[in-house]
Amino acid sequence: MNIGIILAAGEGTRMKSKTPKVLHEVMGKKIIQYVLDACSEANINEKVMILGHGKEKIIETLKDKDFKWKEQPIGEDKPYGTGYAVMQAEDLIEDNATVVILNGDVPLIEGKTLDNFINFHKKNSNSASVLTAKLEDPYGYGRIIRKDDKILGIVEEKDASEEHKRINEINSGIYCFNGNELKEILKELDTDNSQQEYYITDGIKKIVEKGLKVGGYLIEDAIQIKGVNNRIQLSELSTEEKIRINKKHMLNGVNIIDPDNTYIEKDVEIGMDTTIYPNTFLEGKTIIGEDNIIGPGTIIQNSKIGNNNKIENSKIIKSTLENHNKIGPYAYIRPNCKIGSCVKVGDFVELKNTTIGDNSKASHLAYLGDGEVGDNANIGCGVIFVNYDGKNKHKTIIKDGAFVGSNSNLVAPIVVEKGAYIACGSTITEDVEENALAIGRARQVTKINKGKDRYK
Ligand code: UD1
Ligand code: CA
Q: Tens digit of pLDDT for each residue in 85-123?
A: 999 999 999 999 999 999 999 999 999 999 999 999 999
Average pLDDT over residues 362-371: 98
pLDDT at 72 over 90: yes
pLDDT number for residue 147:
86
Q: Return the H-helix or E-strand segment holding 112.
A: helix 111-123
Q: How confident is the model at residue 453 (pLDDT cuts 50, 70, 90)?
A: confident
By annotation, the residues acting in catalysis are: 364
DSSP string for 148-206: TTEEEEEE-GGG--HHHHT--EEEEEEEEEEHHHHHHHHTT----STT----HHHHHHH
Cα(104) to centroid of ligand 1, in Å? 9
Q: Tens digit of pLDDT for each residue in 396-444?
A: 999 999 999 999 999 999 999 999 999 999 999 999 999 999 999 999 9
**Which percentage of the chain shows pLDDT scores above 90?**
95
Mean pLDDT, the chain, rounded, equals: 96
Residue ranges with strand state E in 353-426? 355-356, 361-369, 371-373, 378-379, 384-386, 396-398, 403-404, 409-411, 414-416, 421-422
pLDDT number for residue 149:
78
| Atom number of ligand 1 nearest to Cα 9 | 22
Average pLDDT over residues 272-296: 98
User: 50: Cβ below 6 Å to ligand 1?
Assistant: yes
Average pLDDT over residues 52-74: 96
pLDDT at 454 over 90: no
pLDDT number for residue 103:
95
Cα(81) to centroid of ligand 1, in Å? 7
CATH H-level, domain 314-438: superfamily: Hexapeptide repeat proteins (2.160.10.10)
Average pLDDT over residues 273-294: 98
Average pLDDT over residues 297-316: 98
Amino acid code (one letter) for 359: N
Average pLDDT over residues 356-375: 98
* Neighbour tally for 235: CB within 10 Å: 12
pLDDT number for residue 282:
98
Q: What are the boundaries of each domain within the chain?
A: 2-225, 314-438
Architecture in CATH of 2-225: Alpha-Beta Complex (3.90)
| Atom number of ligand 1 nearest to Cα 141 | 12
Q: Return the H-helix or E-strand segment holding 246.
A: helix 231-251
Q: Tens digit of pLDDT for each residue in 28-58?
A: 999 999 999 999 999 998 999 999 999 999 9
Q: How many residues does the chain have?
A: 456
| Atom number of ligand 1 nearest to Cα 21 | 26
Average pLDDT over residues 205-225: 96
pLDDT number for residue 180:
96
pLDDT number for residue 348:
98
pLDDT number for residue 83:
97
pTM score, whole prediction: 0.90
Three-state secondary structure string covering 304-339: EECCCCEECCCEEECCEECCCCEECCCCEECCCCEE
Q: How confident is the model at residue 150 (pLDDT cuts 50, 70, 90)?
A: confident
Average pLDDT over residues 367-396: 98
Average pLDDT over residues 1-12: 94
Average pLDDT over residues 337-361: 98
The number of the ligand nearest the C-alpha atom of 85 reads 1
pLDDT number for residue 127:
96
User: 331: Cβ below 6 Å to ligand 1?
Assistant: no
Cα(24) to centroid of ligand 1, in Å? 17
Cα(420) to centroid of ligand 2, in Å? 67
Cα(56) to centroid of ligand 2, in Å? 21
User: 109: Cβ below 6 Å to ligand 1?
Assistant: no
Q: Return the best residue to mutate from 11, 82, 168, 226 for the ligand 1 pocket (most ligand atoms within 8 A of CB).
A: 82
The closest residue, in CA terms, to atom 22 on ligand 1 is 9
d(CA 284, CA 39): 20
| Atom number of ligand 1 nearest to Cα 74 | 23
User: 142: Cβ below 6 Å to ligand 1?
Assistant: yes
